[in-house]
Structure 1
């Protein structure tokens, strides 16, 4: 059973490459291979802190990535970015012996790791 019981920049980097780079690009600049097929262009994730007064907005980014409680609806009626909180939890539930509680923690840890990684790619 593979469990994510800890968080790290390295885990966040792996999740970013596997789950986010197709839209946001390997560099995080919004230039992934499928970006041109999306209704709304993916954000440049390297400038999040710049757009928020030089500080990385942990809570806001948590809400955007997790997505389960966001009321955000895109201009065409749907959120194009996956609801990663639900997706990560669902993936964890496929592991033998996982409970909803451990799956929720696995999802949380993956999001925390993504946040740690995103902080490392911020442009000054």
Structure 2
């Protein structure tokens, strides 16, 4: 019985930590997120996330400064808002906005052989959000 109870506490702690939304991103997650960002986002939002990518000049509207999200939100990185916005779960102020709905187009540059039709792996998307959080100024 003593052995059994000594296993329950660590298992319970592990399960509780798995239920939390905020996890500490490892260096591989941030690095993978940076690679995804470079392929999917940097053309419009720029290499540093400041909204000045080479494709931004043809959009008719300046892409937002992604590196300043935390600054503009009282020191809080709005992870869930960013997740929902990128995946098209929030109504846009401008329906004609050039920002793609990644739940529809998928990560087509990350998965060039099958990246349409909303193909977004949850781990890749979490890594992208970890990277965006890591670049906050």
Same fold, TM exceeding 0.5? yes
Q: 1:92 to 1:34 in 2, by over 3 A?
A: closer
Match of 2:43 in 1: 22
Cα-Cα RMSD: 2.5
Alignment partner of 1:64 is 2:78: no
Q: 1:36 to 1:119 in 2, by over 3 A?
A: same
Match of 1:115 in 2: 129
Q: 1:83 to 1:12 in 2, by over 3 A?
A: same
CA distance in 2: counterparts of 1:72 and 1:36, whole angstroms: 21
Q: RCO greater where, 1 or 2, for CA within 8 Å and sep 6 or more?
A: 1
Match of 1:4 in 2: none
Runs of 5+ in structure 1 lacking a partner? 1-6
Contact 1:85 1:111 in 2 (8 A): no
Match of 1:48 in 2: 69
Highest CA radius of gyration, 1 or 2? Answer: 2
Figure out how many residues of one structure are paired with residues of the other and give that number: 106
CA distance in 2: counterparts of 1:61 and 1:53, whole angstroms: 15
TM-score after normalising by structure 1: 0.74
Runs of 5+ in structure 2 lacking a partner? 1-27
